[in-house]
A = this chain, B = another copy of it.
């Protein structure tokens, strides 16, 4: 059934395959009179774009976004905003071997079981290329939220190597291609990723997104909780295997008094183990989300698998792939958070 849309009041629908003529997103529910042009969207796509460092896929995607509808004389009209990005660098020949084999860790086998057909070229619809559409939608969501709300992301762990939170610097996270908020860790990660890449392998990562300036009162009890919608949004990103809010899994080890975010006048809170959300509704504190990204499943090292006709075989993926897809997940995670917040920002007007 229909399943390519996200959101309720602010809803976007994506389409397109990795190696088709184009990908795109239709953004529905954006209020009118918001100034919008390609220049508001393109920088976020550029941030996600592969080929920016040697730790991203070498594929060069022009990723030039074009607004096809919903904007008139520089402002949104309330009509759906259709955005399209043409696929320009689609070397289909790279994927000939993939045609006959299921790649472990990919959607190949599961989707083939479901649909009985699969567009094997570059992962088709399952490709992370789809996330460019999410980033474009997120750019529009940010315009709805306005400048008072900032949504920033950083990589906090690659393989076993974690950043030192005492050295956290948001500006630094924007200055290096690894979205690392810890200046001293950049060179360490760089060397580590070089070794991973040279060994034909890949590695996982943990990403953190922080939304600041979110007013209290966003979110809904009981099934459309803000954290529930955020968990869904984040878990829908390719390769994500876990998501947590505030203290997250660490909360399991806390006692009630350790976990309590006591309140003082302001209102202010003496801690933020809740990650800015209580009972599914924002409290006005920073919203803090962390998620785990598995290692890129396409690796040079040979893996045992099945052919599409059920024979045992091996596969070694020689295409262009990131040693750590978690890095590129940063702008995607930011975008999904922006879209969830924009949806609840509009919902709040109806409570």
Given the known A-B contacts A202-B255, A255-B295, are A5 and B223 also in contact in the complex, defined by CB atoms under 8 Å?
yes
CA distance A235 to B238 in the complex (A): 19
What are 28 A-B interface contacts by the 8 Å CB criterion?
A: A3-B221, A3-B222, A5-B223, A13-B28, A15-B82, A31-B350, A77-B119, A79-B125, A102-B263, A104-B260, A105-B261, A107-B278, A107-B280, A110-B219, A110-B281, A114-B219, A126-B279, A158-B252, A196-B255, A201-B257, A205-B252, A227-B235, A228-B233, A236-B280, A242-B242, A242-B244, A242-B251, A254-B295
Tell me if A77 and B201 are in contact (CB < 8 A). no
Tell me if B242 and A245 are in contact (CB < 8 A). yes
Please provide the chain A residues from 173 to 232 with a CB less than 8 Å away from any CB of chain B in the complex.
196, 201-206, 216-217, 219-225, 227-232
The listed residue (B221, B247, B310) touching A79 by CB distance below 8 A is: B221
Tell me if A350 and B9 are in contact (CB < 8 A). yes
CA distance A351 to B14 in the complex (A): 18
Tell me if A80 and B14 are in contact (CB < 8 A). yes
Of A107, A250, A257, A284, which is in contact with the most chain B CB atoms at under 10 Å from its CB?
A: A257
Tell me which residues across on chain B come within 8 A of A201, comparing CB atoms. Answer: 255-257
Tell me if B4 and A281 are in contact (CB < 8 A). no
Tell me if B13 and A104 are in contact (CB < 8 A). no
Tell me if B295 and A251 are in contact (CB < 8 A). yes
Tell me if B109 and A292 are in contact (CB < 8 A). no
Tell me if B114 and A217 are in contact (CB < 8 A). yes
CA distance A311 to B348 in the complex (A): 26
Given A6-B223, A15-B69, A201-B255, 19 extra CB contacts under 8 A? A1-B220, A2-B8, A3-B221, A4-B223, A5-B28, A17-B69, A22-B82, A26-B26, A72-B124, A105-B259, A108-B278, A113-B283, A114-B216, A242-B248, A242-B249, A256-B296, A262-B305, A267-B310, A270-B304
Give 1 or 0 for each of A142-154: 1 = CB within 8 Å of chain B CB.
0000000000000
CA distance A283 to B102 in the complex (A): 12
Tell me which residues across on chain B come within 8 A of A267, comparing CB atoms. Answer: 109, 306, 310
CA distance A278 to B221 in the complex (A): 30
CA distance A260 to B105 in the complex (A): 6
Tell me if A79 and B28 are in contact (CB < 8 A). no
Please provide the chain A residues from 9 to 51 with a CB less than 8 Å away from any CB of chain B in the complex.
9-11, 13-17, 20-24, 26, 28-29, 31-33
Please provide the chain A residues from 325 to 351 with a CB less than 8 Å away from any CB of chain B in the complex.
326, 346-351
Closest partner residue, chain B, to A255 (CB atom):
B201
Q: Does A170 contact B (CB under 8 A)?
A: no
Q: Does A54 contact B (CB under 8 A)?
A: no
Given the known A-B contacts A69-B17, A236-B222, A242-B248, are A351 and B78 also in contact in the complex, defined by CB atoms under 8 Å?
yes
CA distance A79 to B119 in the complex (A): 10
Q: Does A241 contact B (CB under 8 A)?
A: yes
